[in-house]
Structure 1
Amino acid sequence: MIFKNLKASAVLLFLVASCSLFAQKDFQGKAYYETKTTVDMSSFGGRNMSEERKKEIAARMKSALDKTFILTFNQWEALYEEEEHLEDASSGGRGMRFAMMTSSGGDQYKNVKTQALTQKQDLFGKQFLIKDSLQTLDWKLTGETKNIGKYTCFRAEAVKPKTGIDYRDFRRPPKGEKPKEESERKPEGEKPTVEGITVEAWYTPQIPVNLGPDVYWGLPGLILEVNVDNTTILCSKLVINPSEKIEIKAPKKGKEVTQAEFDEIAKAKMEEMRDMRRGRGGRGGGGRR
């Protein structure tokens, strides 16, 4: 109980010390995040794929998955967008195909006051606009602290339901192994279990906004680091009240769908592609000839 009181007091102290800075009506900030994703290639491609080929694919996936994002935020709103960069011509656009299957999508707008989420998402050339409510996580605050740059950060944990589309669900299984949808089929009458992923977040009460990168929010301070599954999102630069004021606007173009509707559309498309690959004997169009 004493420890909990001390932890609460520390957070309160940071909030009080920072309140004058963030009481401004036009308060705004920009946070730059680097994402790093590790890919397990041990079972990728089955036994027929050479180690050299696996390394080549891993390099392309790393290029597609490791990105820089900018979070522009005020007290209630945030726009999370990828920093523009030129794709390496040597990849021939193949890195983009990995990104379409695994990325969190395009520009994402969050409003914590209205609990609204709007996200632009391209799926194989078609543009969608996901409009839904913010996902709420049951954060558990811990007593751990560390510094990220000049900011003191506190650790929090939550279990996030597994949603969306994961390219790993559509890989061809090794020889002799049943496809995932068959191996995970439940007996009749048995309710399916909801998979969860542990999320670790580090937030700083020195910037008292309950916003963060990607879909993460809801902590008493800006989230500067997230570790989830095999991905780390880390803030590398933070600018408070930049000289140029930036309007935070939600994306507007695309076919409006909910997150669940988009997931179903994406799943159907991925299953269609997998069936086409099976029909060609498992040969992908982008492989070596």
Structure 2
Amino acid sequence: MKQFTAKLSIVFIFMIGLNAAAQDFQGQAIYQAKTSVDMDSWGNGQMSEQQKKMIAERMKNMLEKTYVLNFNRSEATYKEEEKLDAPGSGGGMWSGMMSSFTGGPQYKNIKENVLLQEQEFFGKAFLVQDSLPNLEWKLENETKQIGQYTCFKATTTKKADEMDFMSMRRKNKEDDDKKEAEKKNGKKVQDSTKTEADDPFDELEVPKYIIVTAWYTPQIPVSTGPAEYHGLPGLILEVNADRTIMLCTKIVMNPKDKQNIDRPKKGDVVTRDEYNKIMKDKIQEMREMYGGRGRRN
């Protein structure tokens, strides 16, 4: 009886050790994110090449970023890598203003189905709390190699965030292209919908849905990836979502200097819908200020 009890104790200690090892499992992945912008659609298609180049340089820091994903089996944090702006890189006031319209550090908990995002909007701290998006992935047979990892393709259609500035585009661009062609052919084109009071924001829209292609590797058996993406049988190493590409360039498994994967707590807690309304109200306030100055002139 004593021998049987001793064996049970050994098994119990072994199981505790396995559970601790599983909890101790951690990895770090570095992602390069790049968003493309159709500069021809800016300024009603009437900007010079010099103006396009200047705006593209100013937007580079916003459109090309490096992110760090720290993850264990059930949690992950996804943060932009901190770096100093190079001289003449479009930092300062421009960078500070645009950071108010881009996503902050994220925390995901797969078990609890929780997505938290820290956000600073015009000097005020928010903690946007939401459920993880329900992504219905279609697993494909196609594979490719990313570094030393064999990756499998998966696709889904995702509802776009109405305030996703990375997916914003001009409305009725096809009509604009047609008018431009008519103008080149010598035809007179008049747009009666335009008035002096029109605002540039009125010409922008976000698509209702975007197609997402992901590449994941079962060699790293965690159901997470960059940004809000999750739900595949392996770490997601690449995401193509609308105009944005997120590509993993480095992976370190069980690093010596492990990073804490902590649930954020700072900021006024709001839902995504509530936060979007705050953004809309602020944009409307800015539009009215801009319009007011225009009318006084």
Shorter-chain TM range is: 0.7 to 0.9
How many residue pairs end up in the alignment?
A: 251
**Aligned-partner residue type, residue 128 of structure 1:** F
Q: Please, what is the CA RMSD of the aligned residues?
A: 2.8
Q: CA deviation at 1:95?
A: 3.1
The aligned counterpart of 2:226 is 213
The aligned counterpart of 2:272 is 259
The aligned counterpart of 2:58 is 60
Alpha-carbon contact 1:37-1:62 (below 8 Å) kept? no
Alpha-carbon contact 1:108-1:250 (below 8 Å) kept? no
The aligned counterpart of 1:137 is 135
Extract unaligned runs of 5+ from structure 2. Answer: 1-17, 177-189
Q: Residue 181 and residue 86 in structure 1: after superposition, are their counterparts in 2 closer, same or farther (change >3 A)?
A: closer
Matched residue SS, 2:39: coil
Which moves more between the two structures, 43-52 or 111-120?
43-52
The aligned counterpart of 1:223 is 236
Please give the alpha-carbon distance, in whole angstroms, between the structure 2 residues aligned to 1:217 and 1:36.
20
Q: CA deviation at 1:48?
A: 5.2
Extract unaligned runs of 5+ from structure 1. Answer: 1-19, 185-193, 283-289
The aligned counterpart of 1:235 is 248
Alpha-carbon contact 2:238-2:248 (below 8 Å) kept? yes
Please give the alpha-carbon distance, in whole angstroms, between the structure 1 residues aligned to 2:202 and 2:240.
31
Looking at CA atoms only, which structure, 1 or 2, has the larger radius of gyration?
Answer: 2
Please give the alpha-carbon distance, in whole angstroms, between the structure 2 residues aligned to 1:116 and 1:124.
25
Matched residue SS, 2:277: helix
The aligned counterpart of 2:95 is 95
Alpha-carbon contact 1:137-1:160 (below 8 Å) kept? yes
Find the partner of 2:260 among 224, 228, 247.
247
The aligned counterpart of 1:146 is 144
Please give the alpha-carbon distance, in whole angstroms, between the structure 2 residues aligned to 1:169 and 1:207.
34
Which moves more between the two structures, 224-233 or 156-165?
156-165
Which moves more between the two structures, 62-71 or 221-230?
62-71
Matched residue SS, 1:95: helix
Matched residue SS, 1:280: helix
The aligned counterpart of 1:197 is 210
Alpha-carbon contact 2:162-2:208 (below 8 Å) kept? no
Matched residue SS, 1:71: strand
The aligned counterpart of 2:288 is 275
Please give the alpha-carbon distance, in whole angstroms, between the structure 1 residues aligned to 2:229 and 2:133.
8
Find the partner of 1:71 among 69, 72, 78.
69
Alpha-carbon contact 1:170-1:271 (below 8 Å) kept? no
Which moves more between the two structures, 31-40 or 172-181?
172-181
Alpha-carbon contact 2:128-2:269 (below 8 Å) kept? yes
**Aligned-partner residue type, residue 147 of structure 1:** Q
Please give the alpha-carbon distance, in whole angstroms, between the structure 1 residues aligned to 2:170 and 2:239.
27
Alpha-carbon contact 1:100-1:123 (below 8 Å) kept? yes
Q: CA deviation at 1:89?
A: 4.2
Alpha-carbon contact 2:28-2:251 (below 8 Å) kept? yes
The aligned counterpart of 2:155 is 157
Find the partner of 2:106 among 105, 108, 112.
108
Alpha-carbon contact 1:170-1:270 (below 8 Å) kept? no
Q: Residues 36-84 of structure 1: CA distance to partner in whole angstroms, max 9, x if unpaired?
A: 1111111212355332112111111122221111000000000111110
Alpha-carbon contact 1:225-1:234 (below 8 Å) kept? yes
